[in-house]
Amino acid sequence: MEPSAIAFYLFAAVSVIASIGVVGQRNPMYSVMLLNVGREDPAPGLVSALGPKTLKIGAVLSVVLGIEIVWALSRVGLGYFAQDDAARSVSSVARIGAELFTRHAFAFEATSILILVAMIGAVVIARKEH
């Protein structure tokens, strides 16, 4: 079996187990940590630290960043293994950037407005009433 296939099945197993843990945990804090193990999405981890089970944001940040770094390194390793022709043709950052800023430029700008509106909305909804 190729190294890339071994890596895929290994990470697939980790991903499925972590996702089952996300759904199955009683404490949402553990669910967030498992989501970070299975994926890489630090935003829910940071914000849910403000929830009922309060944890120091610094601790959450350090754990999330640690997991992020490990996962980023593992992804780099995965990319290194998967250097066949198909992967090389679609893994060019320059090509993705060129497509994003030419053919999909309008969608890109619209997305930035969406994020701005969502950010303002989140601040307005979550602020304390005086």
Partner 1 sequence: MVPLNHFLILSGILFAIGTAGVFLRRNLITMLLSIEVMLNAVNLTFVAVGRYLGTVDGQIITFFVMTVAAAEAAVGLALVIAVYRHYRTTNVQRLDQLKG
Tell me whether residue 9 or residue 80 sits nearer to partner 1 (CB atom): 9
Q: Report the phi/psi class of residue 94: left, alpha or beta, with left for phi > 0 and alpha for psi in -120 to 50.
A: alpha
Size of the chain, expressed as the number of residues it contains? 130
Rounded to whole angstroms, the Cα distance separating 104 from 57 reads: 36
Residue 17 CB contacts under 8 Å (≥ 6 apart), including other chains: 38
Pick 65 or 115: Cβ nearer partner 1? 115
Tokens of 5: 């296939």
The CA distance from 91 to 40, in Å, is: 19
Q: Find the binding residues for partner 1 in span 26-85 (CB under 8 A).
A: 28, 31-32, 35, 38-39, 41, 43-44, 47-48, 50-52, 82, 84
Q: Interface with partner 1 includes 2 (CB under 8 A)?
A: yes
Residues that bind partner 1 (CB under 8 A): 2, 4-5, 8-9, 12, 15-16, 19-20, 22-23, 25, 28, 31-32, 35, 38-39, 41, 43-44, 47-48, 50-52, 82, 84, 86-87, 89-90, 92, 95-96, 99-100, 104, 107, 111, 114-115, 117-119, 121-123, 125-126, 128
